[in-house]
Structure 1
Amino acid sequence: MFSISDNEEWIQIEIRQLQSFKTVAELNSFTKAAQTLQYSQASITAHIQQLEDEIGSPLFDRLGKQIQLTIMGKELYLHVVELLTVYSKIKHISSNDNTIKGEIRIGASESMTVYKLGSVISKYKKDYPEVTFSLINDNCMPLRDRLHSGELDIAITLEPKVNDPLLHTEIWSEEPLVFVGERNHSVKTIEEADGECIIFSANNCVLRQFFEGFLVENGISTYNHLEFSSMEAMKQCVVSGLGISLMPYLSVESLLREEKMKVVESSCENPMFYAQISYHKNKWLSKAHKKFLEMILEGN
């Protein structure tokens, strides 16, 4: 909490209120802000109400289900961005220039966490034990939303090349995708899969959208499908013969080698996704952040 004196009146504002305000302003939604910050919607509403009470002016116009910043809200937003940037720097202050400490908030897709990040995180925590490290798993699009809102410092995703003007993104590695089915599945090519059960990831997953688009473009029905939020659950469904899916090769390599799955061929060239590291262009990077990025990219 900090206080501002103005004409002998004291305004007391908490950092979390400012973080909630900034997130609502950027996402244009109390509901999305609550999901992003992992607060209840009632808490977000209370934070904004408390801030409006302290400031003495509405910060948002509520237009039915739509919201937009008031003139006061727009002015406050600029100051809040500056203040939260300074607050982030303060949290990373080190009394010893040679000591790496502070906090890192990483977001990663499931495949990246399971198959590529484990060894990096283990080495990082061993080399820099004074850094507080948090990791959130989510799909690619929500992770980018969390970068924009400031909830995450760095996101590591597996998807087509990211083209977001507000994010700095580097490619970590190229990762091919493969169509897969149970080892004795009768379908030999994906073009023969019309009517077959399709195993999809969650609707807000880039892999799902890419796969669904491919099937529709090739005249393959998606009506008969199963949907899962977990890649591991999808893999077990394929192994059990419940359907055909599209997955990153790195996530099914061992199952293919053990002949528990087979590759379903395609007349098209195998699609390619990219493991990518992103952070907001306005994000101040501490020594802890920079060391983490260096450690990942050194592994290329």
Structure 2
Amino acid sequence: MDSKHITTFLTVAQTNNFSKAAEILNCAQSTVSVHIDKLEDELNLSLFYRKKHGIILTEEGKRFIKYAERIANIEKEYKNELHSSSVNKEIIIALQESQLLYRYQQRIFDWIQNNPDINVIFKTAHSSFSLKDQLTSGEIDIAVLSDNNLYNPSLNRILLTKDPLVLVSNKRISISHIKDLNEYRILMTEKGCSYREELENFLRVNEINRINKIEMISIEALKNYLYEHPSIALLPKFLVENDLNKNLYEVQLDYSWPDLHTHLLFSRNNEDPKIQELIRIFKSVATIN
């Protein structure tokens, strides 16, 4: 059974859409169709119902998922074992810069120091479907992600923290009417960040369309600008807790921001002891905070 066909099947099963699967797999939609057709011919059964507005798994397709996941994981384990004698083990962790710097850095860096035979790769984790797909396929081992739309049957999900969001400025500001936000420069993180999405949704609902904004490449760059220049930003409270009423002030606004929910995500089939060590670290740090 061709491993590429298995990967394509799992991606299509996750997206319920051939074109989205093709985008994730970086191939033509026709290639996705060919892979599924060949797999169905080999199995002598239909894996998907083709509908006018999309596709859904057949009962046979639903039953085949667990076997396809096993095949994909076996291939990954085989490749890891094949190269283990000559190449250090590699663990890929996806999380936001702010989470690493302000919450997990010390414990994770200590763990890295105690595991010199492991290559650790950090990747930026924004709210995205592709990240969840990468976890399912094994391209990423662990993710710490702030996103409420996280259901995926092949992933374990653990709630780590619920952080309040605060609108802050370097001056004391009281806004009597929401539309007065038009008068201020608004600082934002890169697209895909969950608290940026929360702010954008708030502005859209309140029909605040003419905003003067700056999009920053990092949370540290954003905070440095915020300290020195008249502007406002929506941030998780843990990022500015030590600055409140000193360098920064909460903007008084008649609105309650929802909490930012951050989850730990990893494959249900990943039983690697080193991954389990990292999972325990993330959980223990979150408990302390």
Distance 1:269 1:54 in 2: 51
Distance 2:214 2:30 in 1: 33
Instruction: Evaluate the alpha carbon distance shift between residue 30 and residue 124 of structure 1 in structure 2; reply closer, same or farther with a 3 A threshold.
Output: farther
- Matched-pair identity in %: 21
Correspondence for 1:139: 126
Distance 2:246 2:23 in 1: 40
Instruction: Give how far 1:242 is off.
Output: 6.5
Correspondence for 2:144: 156
Correspondence for 1:286: 272
Aligned-partner residue type, residue 94 of structure 2 = G
Instruction: Give how far 1:89 is off.
Output: 4.7
Correspondence for 1:49: 34
Correspondence for 1:250: 238
Distance 2:162 2:58 in 1: 44
Distance 2:188 2:135 in 1: 26
* Match among 188, 211, 215 for residue 228 of structure 1: 215
Correspondence for 2:12: 24
* Match among 75, 79, 95 for residue 108 of structure 1: 95
Correspondence for 2:70: 82
Distance 1:152 1:34 in 2: 19
Say whether the 8 Å CA contact 2:165–2:235 is kept in structure 1. Answer: yes
Say whether the 8 Å CA contact 2:5–2:39 is kept in structure 1. Answer: no
* Match among 199, 213, 228 for residue 211 of structure 1: 199
Correspondence for 1:297: 283
Say whether the 8 Å CA contact 2:48–2:58 is kept in structure 1. Answer: yes
Question: TM-score, normalized by length of structure 1?
Answer: 0.67
Question: TM-score, normalized by length of structure 2?
Answer: 0.69
Aligned-partner residue type, residue 93 of structure 2 = I
Give the number of aligned pairs.
Answer: 273
Say whether the 8 Å CA contact 1:194–1:221 is kept in structure 2. Answer: no
Say whether the 8 Å CA contact 2:166–2:236 is kept in structure 1. Answer: yes
Correspondence for 2:163: 175
Instruction: Evaluate the alpha carbon distance shift between residue 240 and residue 155 of structure 1 in structure 2; reply closer, same or farther with a 3 A threshold.
Output: same
- Deviation digits for residues 57-103 of structure 1 (CA, Å, limit 9, x no counterpart): 79767767845557886675443122123334546669xxxxxx854
Instruction: Evaluate the alpha carbon distance shift between residue 150 and residue 35 of structure 1 in structure 2; reply closer, same or farther with a 3 A threshold.
Output: farther
Say whether the 8 Å CA contact 1:154–1:278 is kept in structure 2. Answer: yes
Say whether the 8 Å CA contact 1:26–1:148 is kept in structure 2. Answer: no
Instruction: Evaluate the alpha carbon distance shift between residue 145 and residue 243 of structure 1 in structure 2; reply closer, same or farther with a 3 A threshold.
Output: farther
Distance 1:227 1:73 in 2: 47
Distance 1:111 1:26 in 2: 29
- Deviation digits for residues 186-236 of structure 1 (CA, Å, limit 9, x no counterpart): x3247553423444445644313333444566xx44312337374435445
Say whether the 8 Å CA contact 1:179–1:263 is kept in structure 2. Answer: yes
Correspondence for 2:260: 273
Instruction: Give how far 1:121 is off.
Output: 3.0
Say whether the 8 Å CA contact 2:18–2:32 is kept in structure 1. Answer: no
Instruction: Evaluate the alpha carbon distance shift between residue 84 and residue 214 of structure 1 in structure 2; reply closer, same or farther with a 3 A threshold.
Output: same
Pairwise CA RMSD: 4.2
Unaligned regions of 5+ residues in structure 2, if any?
Answer: 83-87
Correspondence for 1:3: none
